[in-house]
Amino acid sequence: MPNTVKGAIERGRATVEDVLEVGRNTVEDVLKVGRNTVEEVIHVGRNTVEEVIQVGRNTVESARRVGQGTMQAAVLHGREDVRIEQVPVPEAAPGELIVRVGAALTCGTDLKVFRRGYHARMIVPPALFGHELAGTVVQAGEGVEGFATDARVVALNSAPCGECYYCARGQENLCDDLLFNNGAYAEFIRIPARIVAKNTLMVPDHVPLEHAALTEPLACAVHGFEDSRPQPGDTVAVIGGGPLGLMMVHVASLAGYQVIAIVKHNGQVEAARQLGAAHVVQAPTIRKAIRETRALTPKDRGVDIAIEAVGLPEAWEEAVEMVRKGGTVNFFGGCAAATRVSLDTNRIHYSDITLRATFHHTPAICRKALDLISSGRFQAGAFITGHAHLYELNRVFEKLMNRSTEIKTAIVP
Ligand SMILES: [Zn+2]
Ligand SMILES: [Zn+2]
């Protein structure tokens, strides 16, 4: 009996201790789970709140875009400072067009502007940026004839006044009141009435918009080539393997001339050959380039025409040393402001050398350029070596500054 009581007490005590222990653990577990649960709830709550704020912000942002009719566009603020910003979608005033940009092409001029932060004649910041484009008409202002909604067009970057001394003489590229348009790196662009009337062209259905966008630079090349007054059988040297140098090589070879391309970078050698150069000179110094180019002509007499497409004073001087007696030099590449060249007067006079310096284009030449693109003979695709979205524009320019082998990048908004 006493054993039984004693045993019962002991079992009771052990049971109570077990219960206490289990109870203590359970309470600790509950506290722990509770603590974790509370932390998780706080965490989830915080994320949810942040997400709600973000979604709200995006919704407000897009509501504002739609409400105000805004679009994304590249805005040049200064040196190497281009920002993609929300700006209002332009509205067509009488005579104007609003074009949805299909493709805008990078250009050496834009790269210069990006580096310098401005262009004396073409662009003063802050300003919309980019000038080689083709796209589709989304709105035609009052009084516009010949361009309906959805028409595929290439709108040039400028138009002459048609009334000044120079326009009257057919030198519209020198117009006293040349009107420039920028803003191609955007979803939409406004085309001013004068450009609509004089320098906006319909793109044939079989021509991709990004090819049609080459009309502007090609017009410069065609103008520069024709202005050099080539004669049948001439040998033409083109100094420079950038986009315009290569275009000049192609234009001259398509016209049936023997072309010597003088390039600097390895990647340009193959491109010049593909575009029709009979010879490619890649010399480490200007002296050697002159000697090697002359060596490609009978008795080292020099080329009939030398076209400088670099835009450096030393290359201008180089061009003068490459031509034969009676030859023509075209200083086609524009140099930085206030630069000068030193030329041998005796050589120019006693060798009867013609010096020309072709700038820009005229409406008639722009039509010729688009015809050449539409003909299928011009290898438009060879000039567009990359594609990028508008928001990648800064990266694209940085790449172009680092002397990449890219010729032109099509910016697709
Ligand atoms: Zn250009
Ligand atoms: Zn004019």
Specify the range with the lowest mean pLDDT, choosing from 39-53, 126-140, 162-176, 341-355: 39-53
Q: What is the pLDDT of residue 143?
A: 97
CA–centroid distance for 373 within its chain: 19
118 vs 211, residue with greater confidence: 211
Residue 60 pLDDT exceeds 70: no
Centre of ligand 1 from the C-alpha of residue 255, in Å:
22
> Which ligand is closest in space to the CA of residue 166?
2
- What mean pLDDT is predicted for residues 277-287? 95
- What average pLDDT does the chain have? 92
336 vs 156, residue with greater confidence: 156
> Which ligand is closest in space to the CA of residue 162?
2
- What mean pLDDT is predicted for residues 379-385? 97
105 vs 125, residue with greater confidence: 105
Confidence at 382, pLDDT banded by 50, 70, 90: very high
Centre of ligand 1 from the C-alpha of residue 236, in Å:
23
Centre of ligand 1 from the C-alpha of residue 265, in Å:
21
pLDDT digit string, tens, across residues 310-355: 999 999 999 999 999 999 999 999 998 899 999 999 999 999 999 9
Question: Which residues keep their CB under 5 angstroms from ion ligand 2?
Answer: 160-161, 164, 167, 175
Residue 161 pLDDT exceeds 80: yes
Q: What is the pLDDT of residue 1?
A: 57
**Measured distance CA(386)–CA(291) in Å, rounded:** 35
DSSP for 199-224, written as a single string: HEEEPPTTS-HHHHTTHHHHHHHHHH
Q: Which of 364, 271, 355, 266 is nearest to 305 (CA)?
A: 355
Specify the range with the lowest mean pLDDT, choosing from 4-13, 64-73, 304-313: 64-73
- Give the full edge-to-edge strand order of the sheet including 279-281: 279-281, 258-262, 235-239, 303-308, 323-331, 354-356
CA–centroid distance for 388 within its chain: 9
Q: What is the pLDDT of residue 115?
A: 87
Q: What is the pLDDT of residue 27?
A: 84
Confidence at 13, pLDDT banded by 50, 70, 90: confident
**Measured distance CA(318)–CA(343) in Å, rounded:** 10
Contacts 24+ apart (CB under 8 A), 85-91: 87/128, 87/186, 89/187, 89/188, 90/188, 90/189, 90/190, 91/139
Confidence at 59, pLDDT banded by 50, 70, 90: low
Confidence at 220, pLDDT banded by 50, 70, 90: very high
Confidence at 63, pLDDT banded by 50, 70, 90: low
Q: What is the pLDDT of residue 280?
A: 98
- Give the DSSP letter of residue 181: -
Confidence at 208, pLDDT banded by 50, 70, 90: very high
Centre of ligand 1 from the C-alpha of residue 124, in Å:
16
Centre of ligand 2 from the C-alpha of residue 131, in Å:
20
Centre of ligand 1 from the C-alpha of residue 244, in Å:
9
Q: How long, in residues, is the chain?
A: 413
Centre of ligand 1 from the C-alpha of residue 278, in Å:
26
Q: Record the pTM.
A: 0.82
Sign of CA dihedral 352, 358, 364, 370: positive
Residue 64 pLDDT exceeds 60: no
Centre of ligand 2 from the C-alpha of residue 372, in Å:
26
User: What is each CA distance from 196 to 33, 190, 356, 361, in whole angstroms?
Assistant: 72, 10, 31, 16
Specify the range with the lowest mean pLDDT, choosing from 66-75, 96-105, 203-212, 270-279: 66-75
Sign of CA dihedral 354, 357, 363, 365: positive
Centre of ligand 2 from the C-alpha of residue 194, in Å:
12
Centre of ligand 1 from the C-alpha of residue 211, in Å:
14
Residue 61 pLDDT exceeds 70: no
Confidence at 380, pLDDT banded by 50, 70, 90: very high
- What mean pLDDT is predicted for residues 111-132? 85
Centre of ligand 2 from the C-alpha of residue 358, in Å:
17
> Which ligand is closest in space to the CA of residue 106?
1
Over pLDDT 70: what percentage of the chain?
94
Centre of ligand 2 from the C-alpha of residue 169, in Å:
9
348 vs 42, residue with greater confidence: 348
